[in-house]
Amino acid sequence: MPQLTIDKIEYLIMVVKLFAAKYQLTPVQAYRYISRYDGVGFIERNYGIMHTLSFQEMVQGISDYCKRQGGQLS
């Protein structure tokens, strides 16, 4: 598996864990929410920029994106 793919997977796992902690969800609930509102695709498409952000900015960015897609967490 290419290193970039491994990096993206590890990054997604970190995003899910931090998102879950912020919104008091289990990691499974957080992943389902992020996935439902195309957050996984958003992370995939914007990995080059997102991985340079702070953890707080990263979680806020995915939260804002999911909200624009119809998510209700804020």
Q: Does a structural domain hold residue 74?
A: no
Domain count, the chain: 1
Which residue shows structure tokens 């998102």?
19
Cα four-point dihedral sign 54, 62, 32, 21: positive
> What pLDDT does residue 74 have?
72
**Enclosing domain of residue 40:** 3-68
Q: How far is CA 34 from CA 2, 4, 24, 52, 56, in A?
A: 24, 21, 14, 20, 16
pTM for the model: 0.90
> What pLDDT does residue 33 have?
98
Per-residue pLDDT tens over the stretch 13-69: 999 999 999 999 999 999 999 999 999 999 999 999 998 999 999 999 999 999 999
Is the pLDDT reported for residue 1 higher than 90?
no
Q: Does a structural domain hold residue 12?
A: yes
Q: Does a structural domain hold residue 54?
A: yes
Q: Does a structural domain hold residue 11?
A: yes
Q: Does a structural domain hold residue 73?
A: no
